[in-house]
Amino acid sequence: MAAVGMKYITFAPITSEPDHAAIVYGTGAIAQHAISGSVTYNRDESSLYGDDMLAEYYNGMTGYDLELGLTELDNSIATMLGIETAVTASGGTTYKMVSDNQTAVGCGYVQTLIINGVTKYNGYWFHKVTFVLGTEAAQTRGETIEWQTPTLTGKGWGVVLDTTTGVQYRDRQEFTTEADALAWLKSKAGIT
């Protein structure tokens, strides 16, 4: 699988989490232009020895870290992530970061792939993630421009959506068209 791009970073607020049932999301939003997405799966690895040899081995997933790069963090997304925003009298925007913020959201994106010369699209949906604004940078302009863009870092949660599948972390589905992948993503985020 050769990934050649990504688009449509999407967030949806969690409105309820029924026991052993699908999470209910409010109306989501697609962020400004996507730059990057990176997922690191966290595992709990443990070995049990008996009779001087390996008797049992466990390597289970405990969650994941998700990092998303955006061209900008617009007000609707910031509010969804629990960052308080307000428009000032002069038309500007203030952002208030709260240190104990634990707002969880569903989020996803579309990844473009080329497989054996054929373009395909993967839709990704992460069921529950708590984000913080990971990096903000400012740098003077010199002979060349170095773009400074926000990065969101999130901690992914395992969820039990039904009693038959156990803990789930994300959904991934492959599509032959970008439009179908985007429609799937919008349906996950409650965007009509």
**Predicted confidence (pLDDT) per residue in 127-152, tens digit:** 999 987 766 778 888 898 888 888 89
Range of the domain at 73: 2-44+51-189
pLDDT at 148: 85
Q: What is the pLDDT of residues 45-86, one digit of tens each?
A: 899 999 999 999 988 888 999 999 999 888 778 878 877 777
Number of domains in the chain: 1
- Do β-strands 170-175 and 118-135 pair in parallel, antiparallel, or remain unpaired? antiparallel
pLDDT at 179 over 90: yes
Using CA atoms, how far apart are residues 190 and 80, in angstroms rounded to an integer? Answer: 14
Using CA atoms, how far apart are residues 183 and 18, in angstroms rounded to an integer? Answer: 25
Least confident residue range of 50-54, 97-101, 113-117, 185-189: 97-101
